[in-house]
Amino acid sequence: MPKINVNVKWSGKKFDNIELDTDESPELFKTQIYSQTGVPPERQKIMVKGGILKDTTDLNQLGLKDGHTFMMMGTAGELPKPPPKPVQFLEDMTEAEVMEALDIPPGLENLGNTCYMNATLQCLRVMPELQQSLEKYQGGLSGVDNRGNLVASLRDLFTNLSKASDGFPPLVFWQMLRQAFPQFSQTGQGGIPMQQDAEECWSEIISVLRAKLPKQEEDKNFIERYMTGELKTVTKCAESSEEEETVSTDAFNKLSCHISINTNYMISGIMESMTEEIEKHSPTLNRTAKYQRKSLVSRLPQYLPVQFIRFFWKPQEQVRAKILRKVKFPLEFDATELCTPELQNKLSKAKLKMKEVEDKKIQKQREEKRRKLDGEDGSSSMDVSTEEEKIDWKEYLDPDLVKDVGCNPTGQYELCAVLTHVGRSADSGHYIAWVKKDTNEWYKFDDDKVSVLQDGEIERLDGGGDWHTAYIVLYRAKKLE
């Protein structure tokens, strides 16, 4: 059934022309209402024939027509307590003062189903080295090189975002993206741009940056240094022990996490994708035979994207359907299990030292908490654990990895961005970016609406239902303190 526009009446107010896709779940519709009214989905009571709209209701069975008006009950939340001191109200501030006071960066305006592009750009912007590399790009927007124009427009967009105080319209970049990759120019009924796949947008942008960003030391650019890893692949014939195995080394810009009925954790999905069985001609047997290909990481980049393979083609429905299975991903990721024995050996010493440092931090936090509970004055304590340990990491890092600028010399990562999708197919739904702010806070970039959340909200993005589900996660190498 086509999308329709409906209205919602709530608390004496009317919200018109809310888009409702009857092929999607009611939870997605409730999320849209939440963005308009501030009433969380779990508090919404939407009246329909037969009672209250449930998350399991099939919207196609309600016989809804364009212009239908829903009645809704629900509260937006508890009223805040009066402030203890006089404050300056946000409405009395300028836009720049509001953004500065709340420490919230600008979002990107949706130009018509461009959330896939906006979410991708906000995730890529978390890498300061990329922005520094873009600033060195000398190309302009007047040339006939469409891909060069795309890089120049990305440079200018990031520059404008650093100065903006409110939602910014990425018009020039969108135009350059469609010129470089015409598939993003597809339109639907009424000439409205069609929803696109954020992973495809991500991959196309990375491919252009890899080809166009200026080279630095050893004739490599940002993508080649900081976002490119290496896989060592061993291919062995399963039907002939006499046939010699073959070894190859290939570059990668992201890892894949396959999702099967047994996949519960990201690491297992990645390992499954790195082992596969193929059939090809065997020179030893002189016939088609089965081979096993197993890959291990021989170089870890500083920035490691992981794509969850959530979409698959359903030929009967002619749609790229979505796997909703819950797959947990960690806020901190030890990637050494994915590596070759040689690389594991190089990473081991620094890995153990980092764990020792982390354990000491946890112990210190526990001691400080205990002292507060016991009413002790921490400032008078002579506990030597309060002194910061200065570590000479040269003693623990492998010399070869130190020379390899842009690699991860410890194998330890922290999550810095998540690109999510909500909806049942790749051709519909909505994309959002979640970007790390500091120790336990995150920015949620829902196009031009930006808010601050806690770690707990990020852990809810692992799937298992119709809520926002991680599609691409971006890890960065942990800093050495």
Which one is predicted more confidently, 306 or 34? Answer: 306
Q: What is the pLDDT of residue 365?
A: 83
Q: What is the pLDDT of residue 380?
A: 46
Q: What is the CA radius of gyration of the chain?
A: 26
Whether 363 is in a domain gets the answer: no
Question: What percentage of the chain exceeds 70 in pLDDT?
Answer: 91
Q: Which two tokens stand for residue 216?
A: 């630095």
Whether 81 is in a domain gets the answer: no
**What value does the mean pLDDT take over residues 120-136?**
96
Cβ-proximal residues to 317 (8 Å cutoff; 6+ apart), any chain:
none
pLDDT tops 90 at residue 385 = no
Whether 8 is in a domain gets the answer: yes
Q: Which two tokens stand for residue 353?
A: 């030292």
Assign residue 336 a region: left if phi > 0, alpha if psi is -120 to 50, beta otherwise?
alpha
Nearest Cα to 196, choosing from 311, 309, 34, 304? 311
Nearest Cα to 421, choosing from 199, 253, 178? 199
Nearest Cα to 204, choosing from 89, 121, 303? 121
Question: What percentage of the chain exceeds 90 in pLDDT?
Answer: 59
CA 334 to chain centroid: 18
Q: Which three-class secondary structure state does DSSP give residue 452?
A: strand
Active centre residues (catalytic):
115, 430
Q: pLDDT-derived band of residue 58, with 50, 70 and 90 as boundaries?
A: confident
Please report, for the domain that includes residue 17, its CATH number.
3.10.20.90
Q: Which two tokens stand for residue 368?
A: 């400080």
Whether 130 is in a domain gets the answer: no
- Kindly report which listed range (50-54, 261-265, 317-321, 352-356) carries the lowest average pLDDT score: 317-321
Q: Is the pTM of this model over 0.85?
A: no
Whether 257 is in a domain gets the answer: no
Given a contact cutoff of 8 angstroms between Cβ atoms, the answer to whether 147 and 134 are in contact is no
Whether 358 is in a domain gets the answer: no
Q: Residues 78-103: pLDDT tens digits?
A: 545 555 656 556 566 655 555 555 67
Q: Residues 5-56: pLDDT tens digits?
A: 899 999 888 989 888 888 888 888 888 888 788 888 888 999 888 788 888 8
Whether 129 is in a domain gets the answer: no
Whether 38 is in a domain gets the answer: yes
- Pairing label, strands 4-10, 45-48: unpaired
**What value does the mean pLDDT take over residues 236-242?**
94
Q: Which domain holds residue 25?
A: 3-73
Domain count, the chain: 1
